[in-house]
Amino acid sequence: MTNALAENKKAIDFAAIRQDFPILHQEVHGQPLVYLDNAASTQKPNLVIDSIKHYYEHDHSNVHRGAHALSDRATAKFEHARENVQRFINAAKREEIIWTRGTTESINLVANSFGRASLTSGDEILVSAMEHHSNIVPWQMVCEQTGATLKVIPVNECGEIEFDQYVAMLNEKVKLISIGHVSNALGSINPVKQMIAEARKFDIKIMVDGAQAAPHFDIDVQNLDCDFYAFSGHKVFGPTGIGILYGKEQLLESMTPYQGGGEMIEVVSFDGTTYNELPYKFEAGTPNIAGAIGLSAAIDYLAQFDRNALQAYEDQLLAFATEQAKSVEELKLVGTAKEKTGVMSFLLQGAHPNDVGMLLDQQGVAVRTGHHCAMPIMKQFGIPGTIRASFAFYNNEDDVVRLFNALNKAKSFLL
């Protein structure tokens, strides 16, 4: 084991952390599971699983307006979860936290409630070439509806934003920039704070897709000065089907909801409807109460650790894997940005990624293959997709060794 990893283990017992995640302790195809698909979805600690179980066994009821104890308890936990998210990303107010189903719905909410209402013909939206489809398609739809134009911030061959070209694209026509904090396909950490500072010179609004950032390092939306920020529960060791949209209060107040129904209303008559106050005017229908409680538990779980130490451990694990990759002659890394986290995308030259993935699975190693919902950057690189190994703090060097042993065996079949 490397000295750096050993030093971090003195501060945090990473072997004990691994015991908190029951799904990791199983065999797949007769082999101990090595889970390296964390960029797609992270696994859940017992604290999260138990919190959801406890809610359904003891507290389940619809939230708000209930005149009984179960509803009171459910509401208290639901709103505590909102406050927990507020602290997690350092939002100024709880009213700035909107529950959604995940990052995709959060971006769609901004596209519909802000984009459609404020954009007109001649306006421009900027996204980068490495964005997830969820941060491309909603803006294409808005452009079709409003006459605005979608423009693409260039990305270099290492998977880094071409910052000077980005700055040159900024002008009075640009009304919105939507950028991923971390690339799900490449692991590149984008310089969003500097990008936001440049955009402020033109009073441009900024949406940040934080789905891949929140699992790896602290988020401070006030420090970033972004207008909107989104992440998904299932990426940050919480349940699926829950996510958040942060928006600055003044902006959220000016926006109209794009879904109607219960909870988002104050008064309804056939003469018209008065919308509820923030944050509820964007939360139509019965919310994912258990999901919010589970996400809150995930945040509590992370709060017991020094997140800088967790990030350092993951970075060193990625560095160890990258060093191992250099010893495989046929292996080509895809995405070699200087600032990266969590993701090692690669190709085994002469073999299709899907074939490699299936052979790894037969040896108990779970990775993801394909375009990773980032087809434009794959097209730019001239490849159909990659094999992606993505790491979390419950992974270890043994997982990396197992990955490369499995790769070498796959080579003997495919090359």
Structural domains for the chain:
3-32+306-414 (3.90.1150.10), 49-303 (3.40.640.10)
pLDDT at 143: 98
| Residue 263 pLDDT | 82
Q: Which residue has the higher pLDDT, 12 or 290?
A: 290
Phi, psi dihedrals of residue 127, rounded to the nearest 5°: -135, 165
Please give the biggest Cα pair distance in the chain. Answer: 72
| Summary mean pLDDT of the chain | 95
Catalytic residue among 143, 158, 226, 373: 373
- Give the pLDDT confidence of 59-105 residue by residue, as tens digits: 999 999 878 999 999 999 999 999 999 999 999 999 999 999 999 99
Phi-psi region of 52 (alpha: psi -120 to 50; beta: other; left: phi over 0): alpha
Q: At what angle do helices 289-303 and 69-89 cross, to 10 degrees?
A: 50
> Could you give the percent of the chain with pLDDT greater than 90?
90
pLDDT-based confidence at residue 2 (cuts at 50, 70, 90): very low
Distances (CA, A) of 88 to 103, 160, 193, 356: 16, 27, 18, 38
Q: What mean pLDDT is predicted for residues 176-189? A: 98
What region does 102 belong to: left with phi over 0, alpha with psi -120 to 50, or beta? left
| pLDDT, tens digit, 9 for 90 and up, residues 183-226 | 999 999 999 999 999 999 999 999 999 999 999 999 999 999 99
What pLDDT, on the 0 to 100 scale, is given for residue 194? 98
Tell me how many degrees the CA angle 308-310-311 measures, rounded to the nearest 5. 65
With a cut of 50, say whether residue 9 has pLDDT above it: no
Task: Say which range, 9-13, 88-92, 264-268, 272-276, has the weakest mean pLDDT.
Answer: 9-13
pLDDT given at position 265? 76
User: Does 158 qualify as catalytic in the annotation?
Assistant: no
Strands 124-128 and 243-247: unpaired
pLDDT per residue as tens digits for the range 331-355: 999 999 999 999 999 999 999 999 9
| pLDDT at residue 18 tops 80 | yes
Residue 335: the pLDDT is 97
pLDDT of residue 95: 97
